[in-house]
Each structure stands twice: as structure tokens, then as C-alpha cells.
Amino acid sequence: MMMTRTVMSMVLVLLLPMTAAAQKKGSIELRSVSEVEVTTTNAKGEKEVKRVEAAAAKVIPGDVVIFTTQYVNIDTKPAEHIVITNPVPEHVVYVENSAEGQGMKIEFSVDQGKRYAAPDKLTKTDAKGVSRRASAGDYTHIRWTLGKPLAPGDKGSVSFRARVK
Amino acid sequence: MGSARATEMKRTVRYILAAFLALAVLVTLMERSASAAGTPAGVTISSPAIATFDYGGIPQPPITASTSFVVDRKINLVVTPANGVYVGVNPGSASQVLTFTVMNTGNSAQDFSLAAVHGADPFGGIDNFNAANVRVFVESGATPGYQTAEDTGTYVDELAADSLRTVYIVADIPGAQISGDISALSLVATARSGGAAGILGGAVAETVGPNDPAAVDTVFADAAGPADGVRDGAHSAASAYRVASAALSLVKSAAVTSAGGQPVTGATIRYTITATVTGAGTAAGVVVSDPIPPNTTAVAGTLRLNNGLLTDAADADAGDVNATTAGTVTVKLGDLNNASPVQTITFEVKIN
């Protein structure tokens, strides 16, 4: 009993300053949106591609959805080692070469995020034990790593496209 | 030596590439067949992003953000005729069948109402009559093929996504039609609300205007058929009946067989009649009757069918002289079609 209590209080001590710091001084802010491209014809008869929030649009199997995560440093000091990870959601398939992020190293995982690598270094082993190069459909997670610290007030975004199965 | 090795290497690389491609194709096929209709309507897809970062060299707790949306209902279907050619029918035949399949390629179970409409010939001919008493029935699954007693359903009930059902157009062919006449019919299937087995659900409308994020909207994704438009919640396909009655042609020739070769009194004349069936279908119970010409007398024991001698009496063989009808040669040829060999009847007469 004594032991448990000690461990508990230690955890609390460790956690408190961190959460306090995150809340008081601020940190980075994250905002995610899922959108679809809707093509409309304007008054001049020209086709216009407009992005509409997926929740506010009609999305059916076969449609491509753009997942975007915006990040901003709302702190007063640079944020270092920013890493954003996003699992490829269930019921969608990642669209090859669609991941974007300025100044970001983009890597993928085919094993639920255990290991990340560039697309040409990822392999997938099938049921028969045959290893082959992983395809976009095998990706389970996407990871973006920002190469330099994010200055206060600076922002950016990462995105990828996926097709609804 | 060097070039030989290079060739060998190239070949190996080619084999590996080929194996790779084969595997890729296989994988693609497997993925496609696994979920052709796709994610069911109403499923929420959410994408959580997690950011980790350091602040002043100290790792900070991860920050998360998530976005989600609901997969809407995709209404899609494909009607396919089972036969890529005409269905041959005889004039006056009742309950002739055109077979189709209705496939639900949407992402939810639906009912489908069915209708048959007259239209253009899908096989390139000209539709020139309307089959009568047109009905539509759904295969019950009990016995393959249209069964009058079993297949009585008139709409497709609760067809799951990615499933198909066989549907029959059943119609009567008027007796006045002749060989080559064509009647084309399209089967139109229209999506209706699913959910309640045993009753045809209500009409399905595409959700218009702004999307309701809280509800599952309906989107039509179907193609146009010969009797429906694109993205109208319906699909159609055409097939056609072609009257395939057989045509029988008879050719008769005469030759003087007695010495001198002149058709004079006492001379013998041999008549040859050939019977040929053309066109599709079967000429049933063909009987050739040929009156013996005036001023001639049939020569006993000369009636032959395909070189086989027939007796003159009305008996078990196919022909007789003066028996079925006085003064007439009668030969029963039975059922003939265009695959039957040419039937040749010969008999001789003497000029009185």
C-alpha cells in the first residue's frame, strides 16, 4: 500500500509541472479538417474546384477526401522537434504521393506505427512469407517531421489524400 | 562472354519484374473484389492527428486534433441481360422469357422496383412489334430458370450491397408474327428504400441542397441505361425476342426416263421433290402432298425418300400413293430444321 501511494505521488509530481507549463505558456495548436473537392460551373461557364468540409458534403465510397492538419506555435519560444503522426483512418486508402508538408520529412508505416520509413524502403510480407515493396494501400500511418524549430507565431500544415473504400 | 552474362542478367531482371507485376495485379484484384460496393452508409470515418514537440529541450505532452465525417448512402445498380443475342421465339408462343440480373453496387441494402418497357433493339436490328402480356418476375432461388409457380415476386426485396438477383421479363408472342420480327424490351430497376422485408420500400430521393452532417444523405451514382438517365437511382438494360419460325422450300423437277427421252404417250417421267428448311426454329410435322398430274398414272413401286424405297400403301413407312388422298403422293417428313439434311422424294408416272 505504501509503495503504491509513493509511486502515485511521484507520478503526480512529474505530471503537474508539465501540464501547467503547457497550459500557462501555451504551446502549439493543432486543427484538423477533412475536405472533399467539389467541381462547380460558374456563371462564365468555367469549371471551379472548391474544397468543402467532408462533414458538410456528400461523401460516398470512391470519393477522395483531403485530410489537413494545421499547426501553429502560440508560444513565445520556438517549439522544437515537431512530429505529427496521423493514422490512415479505417475505411479509406491512402492515395499514393499525396502526403504534403513544407519543410517536413514524410515517412510511412505499414505496421501500425512501429516502424517508419520512406516509401521506397518499406516492404510488406504476404501470407506466404513473400516480401514485396509496400504499396500505398498498405500504409497504416503517416509521419511528418519538421526539420527545424518552429518560431513563435509561425504556422504550417500537413495533408494527405485518401479514397473512401 | 560479357554480353552473354549481361543478357542473362537482363533476363533475370525481367523475370523478377514480371513476377512483381503479376503479384501487384493479383493484390489489386483481391482488394477490389473484397469491397466492390464499399464502406457501408452511416459509417463515421475519423482521422486523429497527434503532434509531439519539445519546448526548451523538454518533451511536451502530445497534442491531438481530430476530424470526422459520415459516409453517405451511395445508390448504384447495374442491370445486365443474361443473353448477348436474341432470344428465339415461335409465333403464338406464350410466356417467353428474357433473363436479366440486377446487381446492387451501392453501399446499403435496397429494394428495387421493376418495370419492362418496349424500346429499341440492342442487337442492331429493327424492333417491329410489341410482345404482348408483358410481366416481370424475380427468381425465387428455389429452381434455376423461370418457373411459373415459383417465381412470382414482382420486385427485388432487400438486396444487400454487392449482391445480385435474377429477374425475368415474361411475354407472349402474337401468332401473326413472321420469321425475323423483333420485339425489344428493357428491364428498368429503380432503387427503393430497404429495411423492411416482404414489402416494397418507398421511393428513394437524392438529398438535395446542403448536406446534413448529422444524417446519412443519399447520393445517386448510377449510369444511364437505354430506358433511364444517369444518376437517377435507376438502371436499365435491353434484350430482344426474335421470331425464328422456319421457312420450308420445295423444289420440283421432272425428267423423262424412258428411251427416246421425249414426253410422248407411254413415256415414263420421274419427278424429284427436294424439301429444305432455312431460318431458325423448327418446321414441325412437315407433310409433302403432290397431286399426280392429269393424264398420267403413278408407276407402282417407284416412290422413294432419300433413295430408300417406300411402299405405295398407307403403312408404317413415311409415304403412300393414292392412299392418304386419292390421286396424290403423300410423304410425311416429320420435324425439320436448318440442320436437317435435304429431303429428296422421287416417284415415277407414265403418260396415258
What distance in Å separates residue B233's CA from the closest CA in chain A? 14
* B215 interface with A at CB cutoff 8 Å: no
Torsion angle in degrees (nearest 10) through CA of A43, A49, A54, A58? 60
Q: Which of B56, B70, B217 sits opposite A77 (nearest CB)?
A: B56
Are B74 and A32 in contact (CB < 8 Å)? no
Q: Report residue A152's pLDDT band, with 50, 70 and 90 as the boundaries.
A: very high
Q: Which long-range contacts (C-beta less than 8 Å, at least 24 apart) are formed by B227-231?
A: B227/B117, B227/B119, B227/B186, B227/B188, B228/B188, B228/B190, B231/B206
Give, in order, the Cα–Cα distances in Å from B262 to each of B244, B266, B315.
44, 10, 35
Q: What integer pLDDT is reported at residue A4 of this predicted model?
A: 44
Question: What pLDDT shows up at residue A40?
Answer: 81
Which residues of chain A are within 8 Å of residue B62 when distances are taken between CB atoms?
none
Is residue A5 over pLDDT 60? no
Is the pLDDT reported for residue A17 higher than 60? no
Interface contact flag, A59 B71, Cβ < 8 Å: yes
What is the ipTM for the molecules in this complex? 0.78
3-class secondary structure, A46? coil
Whole-number pLDDT of residue B27: 39
| pLDDT at residue B24, as a whole number | 43
Nearest chain A residue to B28 by CA: give it.
A137
Note the pLDDT of residue B25.
42
Q: Which long-range contacts (CB under 8 A, 24 or more apart) does B302-308 make?
A: B302/B270, B302/B346, B302/B347, B302/B348, B303/B329, B303/B331, B303/B345, B303/B346, B303/B347, B304/B344, B304/B345, B304/B346, B304/B347, B305/B331, B305/B343, B305/B344, B305/B345, B306/B341, B306/B343, B306/B344, B307/B344
> Taking all residues of chain A, what is their mean pLDDT, rounded to a whole number?
84
* Cβ(B319)–Cβ(B329) below 8 Å: yes
Q: Nearest-CA residue of chain A relative to B32?
A: A165
Nearest CA in chain A to B40: A61
Task: Provide, as residue numbers in chain A, all residues whose Cβ is less than 8 Å from the Cβ of B63.
Answer: 27-30
**pLDDT value at residue B147:** 95
Sign of the CA dihedral A32, A38, A41, A43? negative
B56 in contact with A at a CB cutoff of 8 Å?
yes
CB contact under 8 A, B55 and A61: no
Contacts of B219 in chain A (CB under 8 A): 58, 60
Q: What is the structure's pLDDT at A130?
A: 86
Of B39, B50, B61, the CB nearest to A84: B50
Q: What does B253-272 look like in DSSP terms, one character per residue?
A: EEEE-STT----TT-EEEEE
What pLDDT is recorded for position B100? 97
Instruction: Give the pLDDT of residue B9.
Output: 45
Cβ separation A132–B20 shorter than 8 A? yes
What is the chain B residue with the closest CA to A28?
B63
Q: Is B207 on the interface with A (CB under 8 A)?
A: yes
| Grid cell at residue B342 | 435435304
β-pair partners for B177: none
The answer to whether the Cβ–Cβ distance between B66 and A32 falls below 8 Å is yes
pLDDT recorded at residue B285: 83
Does B71 sit within 8 Å of A91, measured CB to CB?
yes
The list of chain B residues with pLDDT below 50 reads 1-35
The CA distance from B123 to B29, in Å, is 31
